[in-house]
Structures are given as structure tokens and as C-alpha cells.
Amino acid sequence: MKWSSRFTIPLITLVIVVGLLSPLFIDFGFGPVKQGRRPREAADPVSILVARAQTADVPVYIDGVGTARPAASVIVRPQVDGQLQRVLFRDGQEVKKGDVLAQIDPSIYQAQLDQALAKKAQNEALLDNARRDLERYTRLAETNSVTKQQADTQRATVAQLEAQVKADQAAIDNARTMLAYTTITAPIDGRTGIRVIDEGNLVKQADANGLVTISQVSPIAVIFSVPQQQLPRVNKAWAAGLVPVDAMDSEGRTVIDRGRLDVIDNTIDATTGTVRLKAEFPNKDLTLWPGAFANVRLLVETLRKAIVIPTSAVQRGPRGTFVYVVNADNTVSVRPVTVTMQDDTQAVIASGLEPGEQVASSGYAKLADGTQIKIAEPAPLPEPAMTGPGSRRQQRQNNAPRGGAGAAPPSAAPPAAAAPPANPQGGATPSGPAR
């Protein structure tokens, strides 16, 4: 028994070690090669997707973020003091220049006008009598019936009354103007804001807030900034003619309005190193609103017949940018390229590629110079998800195992999910994958 215990344990250990190391001997050529097993150097070609270099006209944009401002904005303030009798507009109403907005009590100003008219009539009567007296004194002075001094005094009286009549006319004009101020009209076309004061309140000329603010939102302006390094390109485009500017949505993907560059500021902000630009948009659909942030892009030039490839096909290494060009023998070659510009989807190639050449657009981790490749077909797009009431039930039925011990009985089928709610535009919200 002692001899058996002494040799049994080492023997078992040796058998276990040989069993663990035997696969390594076979893999490294120390053992027989199993039938059907191929050496590593005979690996399968790498399956990749490819894209073809094409020529296209590529617009060059400068992006910016700005603030929408009304083309014109006016605080409507009363020009005379008095009680606000009527308000003739609604909050948020579109008004035209000259529309009556409010009425101030005109009684005092009408009385002042009547008083000025009466004063002028009185002085005109005195002037008419003085002129007749002057004619008499002039005839009598010619016959020495009165002294010349009396005639001169009467002539001065006529001139004094003529000046008084002119002063009366000025007072009448002033009174009429003050009376007209009791009717408050819109100074510009635009949209009214929220009314500040209601009927019955006493308004004064010194009121800082006024009655309401009118803002012209169609057209509307957007003021944004670009780096000063881009100013030469902007000036060049400005000198060439009309410079288009697009207003984008919050994600920067969809154009919501198209306008034009209106003003380039005459100074550069030394603090930020930017220059301010002003663009004007028609804003017929009111997609831009005063005070809101706006994403804009400025078209400064268009690259004609430029060579473009997907941005994902451009790789970067220690020696710069390069691409994997597909050869006729289904191999790839590393080729350096010069990229002029690129965005999220495409890159413009200045040199290194010719139109029509194919480049690899996937599988870069497995590629090297001379790697055998196999061009794969792009995966087909998935079928659109059903959005009817029975869509998720149908997905569960299609995914459920058919028959066998793992199949659930019909009575155990889960209840159908409710249809997703409709979005504000009236379409159904796309359903997600069955869980």
C-alpha cells in the first residue's frame, strides 16, 4: 500500500499535464494535423464594404450661432398725459402702420384747441380794424389833418396785431398736435406684445414701459459671430455678390429658413477674436422668434467637380491621412491622400485619388497593405415596424418557438401591447423591438 501511494499521485499528475499540453503540441506542428484543419497563412479574405470616389460640387459653409432679433422694435409710449379711455388691440395682434391702438381722453386738449381758435379770431378782428384805421390816418396825413407820428403809431399797431395772429396760428397748430396725440397709432408694421396697462389708468409721457411693444418679426434678423480667421473668406464672398445664409434647426440638420447676409460689422471684438455678422430672413412661417438662439451657416464658396469619399474611409496614421484603395486582384493598398475639408458624412480629397477608384469603408482593423479582401454587399434595410394594435403581438408570435417542450401553450400567450400614442403631427410613434 505504501508503494502504491508513493507512485500513484505523481502518475496522475503526469497524465493531467500531458492532457493539458497536447493541444499546444498539435497547434504548433508537433502533432498530427487534423483532417480539414488549414494552416494560419491560408486565412479567409477579409470581408469589407467599399465606396467609390466621385466628383461633385461641394458647398463650403461657415457655421455660427447667433440670436434672432426683430427687424424693428418700438415701445409705444403716450405723448400726452391723460386717462386711457379705450384699448383697441389684442395682445399678440398683427398690426399695420397707422392702425389705431388706443385712445386717451381728448377733452382737455379739445378745449385748448377751441381756446386758441377763439384767440386768433379775436386778434384777427382787431387786426382788421387796425388796418382800416391805418388807411384813414395815411390819407389824413397826406393833407396834414393828422400828424405823421399818429400814422406811424397806427402802422406799428397793425404790425403788432399781425404778429399776434401768427402766434395764435402757432398755438392752434400746437393744440391740434396735442389733440392728435390722444389717438395712439402703430408706428410700424409688426406684432404687439403683452399689454402693460389697461383701460381707465392715467398715463403720462414719462412712463418708461409705455403701453405695448411692437416687434417686426417678418422679416427678422439674426446676429451671429464668426472667427476673425474666416473674415477674408466672408469678405471675398461679399464682394462677389449676394451671400446666402441658411437658418438651421436645433440639431443643425434641417434648413428652416433661407436668407442673405446683410451687414458685416466694422470692428473685430478683441476679447473673443470674432466679428459680428447680421443676416436677414423672410420668416414667413415664423420659425425664428426674437430672442431665440439660432444656428446659421454662411455659404462662402462652392468647390466645383471635387473628389469626395465617405469620411469614414479616411484613416490617420503617423505619416498623415491615408485610405485603403481596392486593387483589381481583390487586395488593398495603403495610399496617402490630402484632405481639403470634411464633415460628418463626406471628405473632399485634393490629391491621392482619382474619380472611380474604390476605397475600403469598413473593416480597417483587419486591413494592411496587400491584404486579400472580399467585397460584401450592404445589409438590406429592415422592414418598417408595424404600428397597428396587433403589431407587437404579431412580433411575439413570430419570435416564439414552434412546437417542442419550449413552446408556450396558447393560453399562456402574453396580452397584446397597446398601440403607441400618436405624435402631435398625427403620425404614430414608431414601435421598438419586441421585448
Output 3 or 365, whichever has higher pLDDT. Answer: 365
Q: What is the pLDDT of residue 416?
A: 38
Question: What is the pLDDT confidence band of residue 208, given thresholds at 50, 70 and 90?
Answer: confident
H-run or E-run covering 397 = helix 391-399
What percentage of residues in the chain have a pLDDT greater than 90?
Answer: 64
- Model confidence at 1: pLDDT above 60: no
Name residues whose C-beta falls within 8 Å of residue 122's C-beta, 6 or more positions apart in sequence: none
What's the pLDDT tens digit per position in 142-165?
A: 888 778 888 889 889 999 999 999
CATH 3.30.1360.200 fits 50-54+305-375, yes or no: no
Kindly list the domain boundaries of the chain, sorted by start residue: 50-54+305-375, 62-67+215-302, 78-105+182-210, 107-180
- Model confidence at 426: pLDDT above 80: no
Pick the CATH number of 107-180 from 1.10.3470, 3.40.50, 2.160.20, 1.10.287: 1.10.287
CA of residue 273 relative to chain centroid, distance: 22
| For residues 16-33, average pLDDT | 52
- Structure pTM? 0.63
- Model confidence at 358: pLDDT above 50: yes
The residue ranges of DSSP E strands in 114-188, in sequence order, are 183-185
Q: What is the CATH number of domain 62-67+215-302?
A: 2.40.30.170
What's the pLDDT tens digit per position in 294-350?
A: 999 999 999 999 999 999 999 999 989 999 999 999 999 999 999 998 888 899 999
Residue 268, amino acid: I
| For residues 379-406, average pLDDT | 43
Three-state secondary structure call for residue 113: helix
Pick the CATH number of 78-105+182-210 from 1.10.3720.10, 3.30.930.10, 3.40.47.10, 2.40.50.100: 2.40.50.100
Residue that the C-alpha cell 476673425 belongs to: 228
- Model confidence at 290: pLDDT above 70: yes
Count CA within 13 A, CB hemisphere, residue 88: 14
What are the cell numbers at 167? Answer: 402766434
| For residues 121-130, average pLDDT | 93
Spatial contact of 132 and 167, defined as CB atoms under 8 Å apart: no
What's the pLDDT tens digit per position in 231-257?
A: 999 999 999 999 999 999 988 889 999
| For residues 275-303, average pLDDT | 94
